[in-house]
Amino acid sequence: MPTILSQNLRKVYSVQKKRPGLSGSIRDLISPIHEDKVAVKDVSFVIEEGELVGFIGPNGAGKTTTLKMLSGLLYPTGGEVRVLGFDPWKREHNFLKSISLVMGQKNQLWWDLPAIESFNLAKDIYGIDGKVYQKTLDKLVQMLDIGDVLNVQVRKLSLGQRMKAELVAALIHSPKILFLDEPTIGLDVVMQQSMRVFLKEYNQTNPGSIILTSHYMDDVKELCKRVIIIDQGSILYDGLLSEVIARFSQHKIIEVITPSGTKTHKVLRAKVAEKAADLLKDPQVIDINIKEVEIEDVIRRIFAGEKKD
Ligand SMILES: Nc1ncnc2c1ncn2[C@@H]1O[C@H](COP(=O)(O)OP(=O)(O)OP(=O)(O)O)[C@@H](O)[C@H]1O
Ligand SMILES: [Mg+2]
């Protein structure tokens, strides 16, 4: 049984259409008109135990909506979804004990309490054995290096400290699936890096799967072998990150080094050998390198709607 099975998943929001002007606003109050907004059109994929998958796409692509359906916060309009064999929407206790959703934009800890109180509360809610709880907590606190702020009111923590505390709260019951929706958003470069190091180590030392959305390609490059690219509610690509370039870029870069500096040429894949041989004819050339274009560039172009370069 796959960890996550999503088949033709669909979500249509009903949004109120605004009429123009003051009289329009009054009529909106009396007889609102609704229109459909297709957020997730048709999404199918399978995720196996232990995978760390990057779920990427431009703003409004449907990532958060999909994660909310997978974690049971939203009821799908169509299609089928099974997570660890459960129907997420039923939000059964055993399902909730097996997953966690962390949203970088949303605070899930008690704002006025020290983080440790939220963790203790989770211990009771999930019925975690005292010794197991202490062991998991110690390990997470050590890995995230937040021992010194556990007793500080959450509202007084920096964004980075708070995100780390959010992760502890999300992982304290050792879920089998962790959904991360932009966990590094707004963090400074150093804090982003320490989050990545943590997630990588966590994924390597714990069973279970992680689905990660991020707008930072560095997160995805460092953490995910597999990516699912979604755009306008449909899947554009599902496969190895390392193959995204070959699939979406028809070009390679030839770097030519001469005593006066380095020059780069963007060349069609099929013409690389021919072009390189041609460039080497110049006696000034000391060396040449053939490289792939940058993954950032490829992804940016895909997001901009240009499917091939
Ligand atoms: N509650 C809602 N009601 C109506 N429309 C919504 C609602 N939530 C999201 N949408 C719309 O659905 C589409 C998908 O939104 P979603 O939040 O899933 O995108 P996303 O991929 O997470 O984007 P981002 O990268 O900006 O977080 C967008 O067009 C958005 O405006
Ligand atoms: Mg989102």
CATH at 204: 3.40.50.300
My answer on whether 288 and 201 are in the same domain is no
Distance 299 CA to ligand 1 centre (A): 20
Residue where one domain finishes, among candidates 212, 245, 278? 245
Q: What is the mean pLDDT of the chain?
A: 93
Q: Which pLDDT value is given to residue 160? A: 93
My answer on whether 111 and 255 are in the same domain is no
The answer to whether residue 88 sits within a structural domain is yes
Distance 62 CA to ligand 1 centre (A): 6
My answer on whether 275 and 200 are in the same domain is no
Q: Which pLDDT value is given to residue 308? A: 61
Torsion of CA 164, 170, 175, 179, to 10 degrees: -90
The answer to whether residue 262 sits within a structural domain is yes
Percent of the residues in the chain that have a pLDDT greater than 90, as a whole number: 85
My answer on whether 187 and 267 are in the same domain is no
Number of domains in the chain: 2
Q: Which pLDDT value is given to residue 307? A: 60
Distance 64 CA to ligand 2 centre (A): 4
- Domain of residue 62, residue span: 4-245
My answer on whether 279 and 143 are in the same domain is no
My answer on whether 138 and 276 are in the same domain is no
My answer on whether 124 and 199 are in the same domain is yes
Query: Model confidence over 195-249: pLDDT tens digits?
Result: 999 999 999 999 899 999 998 888 999 999 999 999 999 999 999 998 988 888 8
Residue whose CA lies nearest to ligand 1 atom number 25: 59
Q: How far is CA 214 from the centre of its chain?
A: 4
My answer on whether 112 and 147 are in the same domain is yes
Residue where one domain finishes, among candidates 230, 245, 260? 245
Sheet strands (E) in the chain = 4-17, 33-47, 52-56, 78-83, 99-103, 177-181, 209-213, 226-231, 234-240, 251-258, 261-268, 287-292
Atom of ligand 1 nearest to the CA of 13: 4
pTM check: above 0.75 = yes
List ligand 1's pocket residues with C-beta within 6 A.
13, 15, 37, 39, 57, 59-65
The answer to whether residue 306 sits within a structural domain is no
* Ligand 1 binding pocket mutation candidate from 55, 64, 102, 215 (most atoms within 8 A of CB): 64
* Ligand 1 binding pocket mutation candidate from 37, 184, 211 (most atoms within 8 A of CB): 37
My answer on whether 138 and 182 are in the same domain is yes
Query: Model confidence over 3-53: pLDDT tens digits?
Result: 999 999 999 999 989 999 999 999 999 999 999 999 999 999 999 999 999
